[in-house]
Amino acid sequence: MPLAAGAALYGAWLARRELRSAPQQLVVSADAVSLDGAPLDQPALQWRGPLAFLRYRDGCGRLRYRIWWPDTLDSTGRRELRLAWPVQTPTPDSLSMAP
């Protein structure tokens, strides 16, 4: 019982911290992606159905994530993000081709 109460209090603390955090602004341009005015290093956007996952490195080199669920990013926002995100086509490795 004490463990359940501790888990509930910790969950309430996390929810309060999340509600008090300021919203962030993601700007996607043709040459760079920035979050709150700071350029992102190695940004990668992945889609899994209606979920969007942004993986990037911050100024200190730490790996960070942002995840948008359907209740935080509506269909219009998802479409805007898909259209604004630069197309990332991997370059073929010449060593993997047959001679």
In a domain, 6, yes or no: no
Cβ atoms of 76 and 86 within 8 Å: the answer is no
In a domain, 53, yes or no: yes
In a domain, 49, yes or no: yes
In a domain, 9, yes or no: no
In a domain, 27, yes or no: no
What is the domain count for the chain? 1
In a domain, 81, yes or no: yes
List per-residue pLDDT tens for the chain, 99 residues long. Answer: 999 999 999 999 999 998 898 888 888 887 888 888 888 888 999 999 889 999 998 888 899 998 988 888 888 888 888 888 876 655 556 566 555
pTM for this predicted structure: 0.67
In a domain, 52, yes or no: yes
Which domain does 58 fall in, by range? 41-85
